[in-house]
Amino acid sequence: MFDVPLDAWYAWLGTAAVATTVLGTAFGLPTAPPPDATAAANAVDSVAAHDPPASVEYRLAADAVMVESTGLTLRSDAGVAHAGFAFGPVVPTPPGSALAAVATGSEPSAVFADRASFERALDGERTDPPGWRGAKRLIVRRVAWGGEDATLVLVR
């Protein structure tokens, strides 16, 4: 008595609208999990927890990364993930800088004229605002020169 007749146009229109909504939602869901920021942060922590010299290279499964002194954020089509560092703060190191040369293996004394210029470079990078960088890997190196001890994180 209260059934909707199947030949009514509004019943078919409602069914089509519901089906379209369900399919749109299903196709809009990500097909992969967001990148694993915790594993990347653990790689940084593994170097930061050791005495200098220590280093590691970590391959990223993300499209972009933002490194801050207290943590990092990874971004891909599947989403965004953030993880903090347990052993920090670290020094985010821009590619092409003198600190990037130190992060990739050069000794600080070979790159910088004196310890004061090394300390100024570290302080400058610690205060720069973070930004997104396209990346395939992280290069992390713990260095010390004189009384200055730092964990450098280079995004490449």
Domain that holds residue 101: 37-155
Report yes or no: 93 and 105 within 8 Å, Cβ to Cβ.
Answer: no
Query: Model confidence at 20, in pLDDT bands (50, 70, 90)?
Result: confident
* SS3 label, residue 69: coil
Cα–Cα distance measured from residue 96 to residue 109, given in angstroms and rounded to the nearest whole number: 18
Query: Model confidence at 126, in pLDDT bands (50, 70, 90)?
Result: confident
Per-residue pLDDT of 29-62, as tens digits, reads 656 788 999 999 999 999 999 999 999 999 999 9
Q: Is residue 53 part of a domain?
A: yes
Query: Model confidence at 99, in pLDDT bands (50, 70, 90)?
Result: very high
Number of domains in the chain: 1
Task: Return all residues near 146 (Cβ < 8 A) that are at least 6 apart.
Answer: 115
Q: Is residue 137 part of a domain?
A: yes
Question: How far, in Å, are 50, 67, 93, 126, 148 from residue 123 at the CA level?
Answer: 21, 16, 11, 5, 11
Q: Is residue 6 part of a domain?
A: no
Task: Give the pLDDT confidence score for residue 65 in this predicted structure.
Answer: 96
Report yes or no: 60 and 74 within 8 Å, Cβ to Cβ.
Answer: yes
pLDDT of 140 higher than 80: yes
Q: Is residue 9 part of a domain?
A: no
